[in-house]
Amino acid sequence: MSAVIAALYPDYHTAQQVRTRLVKDGFPTDRVSLTAPQEPGPAQVVPGDSIKEKLIQHFRQLFQGPEAEMFTRGVLEGHSVIAVQPRGTIETERAFAILRPANPLELRDSDLESQTLEQAASPRNEPIIPGAEKTITGPNPRSKE
């Protein structure tokens, strides 16, 4: 499992606004999902014969405890769920700062203590492939190489 924070909101409109704030804040769209009766989101592609089965399978991918049933019940009752997969302490704090002010009915998290910070750059200040800079960008027209 990966780190996740999920919030159950009373209505779809509030959840849409929260999702927009998260994305505008810089969260990648593939790490923010909205699940609602009007927009099943990732639950729509989960195998299952009914929407209830699809929802429970989806939320079990995020939570191992009773949260999966609670979020499923919430969506079936007409509420909406925003799930965020933060990477690192800063993103976790930002996610909570955006989710809480919208007054969720429930706010749960999982595996936050075991999350790792993804690294998008080389750990050293040198190219991984020597000379790749010239290959990708081409020679500097001002240099005498």
Say if 143 falls within a structural domain: no
| pLDDT at position 99 | 97
Q: pLDDT tens-digit profile of 115-142?
A: 665 543 334 545 555 555 555 555 666 6
For residue 145, being part of any structural domain is answered with: no
Residue 24 resides in a domain: yes
Counts of helices then strands in the chain (DSSP H, E)? 5, 4
User: Is residue 121, in this structure, part of any structural domain at all?
Assistant: no
Distance of CA 30 to CAs 33, 42, 76, Å?
7, 10, 24
The answer to whether position 38 is within a domain reads yes
Residue 43 lies in a domain: yes
Q: Which residues lie closer than 8 Å to 123 by C-beta, 6 or more apart?
A: none
pLDDT of residue 119: 42
Structural domains counted in the chain:
1
Host domain of residue 72: 4-114
In the sheet with 32-35, reading across from the earlier edge strand, the strands are: 32-35, 80-84, 4-9, 106-110
The string of pLDDT tens digits covering residues 55-97 is 999 999 988 889 999 999 999 999 999 999 998 888 999 999 9
Q: Phi and psi (nearest 5°) for 113?
A: -75, -20
In a domain, 132, yes or no: no
Instruction: Please state whether the predicted TM-score (pTM) of the whole model is above 0.85.
Output: no
pLDDT of 131 reads 58
Residue 72's CATH number: 3.30.70
| Whether the Cβ atoms of residue 7 and residue 81 lie closer than 8 Å to each other | yes
Query: Would 125 be classed as within a structural domain?
Result: no
